[in-house]
C-alpha cells in the first residue's frame, strides 16, 4: 500500500490516477486552503505552531485561526473530504503551518505543486515577489521534513526559467 501525502491537494488528481491504475493507497495527509487568504503574521504563527508538542494541538490552533479570521468556506476541503477516505484531522488548511516533522518516515509518495500563477506565461508572472510563488519553498521544506520515499512536484515551465 502506498502511503500518500498531498500538498495543494485540489480535487485530488493523483488520487484519481492511483484509483484508475488500481493502486492501493492510504492518504496520510492532504493540505489546501481553498484560496482563502487570512490577515496574520505568518512568522509569529509559525513560531507558535512549531513549538507546540502535539500534531492535534498544532492543527486545532491553525483551524481556529481560519475559522475566526475568514468567513469563507473552504470548498476544496469539503469536496476532498467527501470524495476521499481521509479523516478531517489529516486535512490541513495552510502549508505554511504544517509541520512535516510530524510525518517523518510515514510518507511513501508526496505529491503537489504550489500555485502556478506566479510563474505561468499566462499568469501575473510575479515569481518570488508574489506570495504564491514563495509557497514553492514550503513544498521543499515539507519534502525535507517528511523525507518521503518519492516526491512529485508539478508546476509550469516558467518555474524553472523565472527569477
Instruction: List residues with catalytic annotation.
Output: 116
Is 83:133 a contact under the CB 8 Å cutoff?
Answer: no
Amino acid at each position: 500500500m502506498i502511503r500518500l501525502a498531498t500538498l495543494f491537494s485540489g480535487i485530488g488528481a493523483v488520487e484519481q490516477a492511483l484509483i484508475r491504475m488500481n493502486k492501493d493507497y492510504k492518504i496520510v495527509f492532504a493540505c489546501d486552503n481553498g484560496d482563502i487568504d487570512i490577515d496574520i503574521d505568518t512568522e509569529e504563527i509559525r513560531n507558535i505552531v512549531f513549538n507546540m508538542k502535539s500534531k492535534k494541538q498544532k492543527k486545532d490552533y491553525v483551524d481556529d485561526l481560519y475559522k475566526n479570521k475568514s468567513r469563507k468556506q473552504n470548498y476544496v476541503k469539503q469536496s476532498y473530504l467527501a470524495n476521499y477516505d481521509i479523516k478531517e484531522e489529516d486535512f490541513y488548511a495552510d502549508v505554511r503551518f504544517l509541520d512535516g516533522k510530524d510525518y517523518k518516515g510515514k510518507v511513501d509518495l508526496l505529491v503537489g505543486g504550489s500555485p502556478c500563477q506566479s510563474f505561468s506565461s499566462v499568469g501575473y508572472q510575479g515569481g518570488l515577489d508574489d506570495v504564491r510563488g514563495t509557497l514553492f519553498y514550503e513544498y521543499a521544506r515539507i519534502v525535507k521534513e517528511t523525507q518521503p520515499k518519492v516526491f512529485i512536484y508539478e508546476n509550469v515551465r516558467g518555474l524553472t526559467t523565472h527569477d
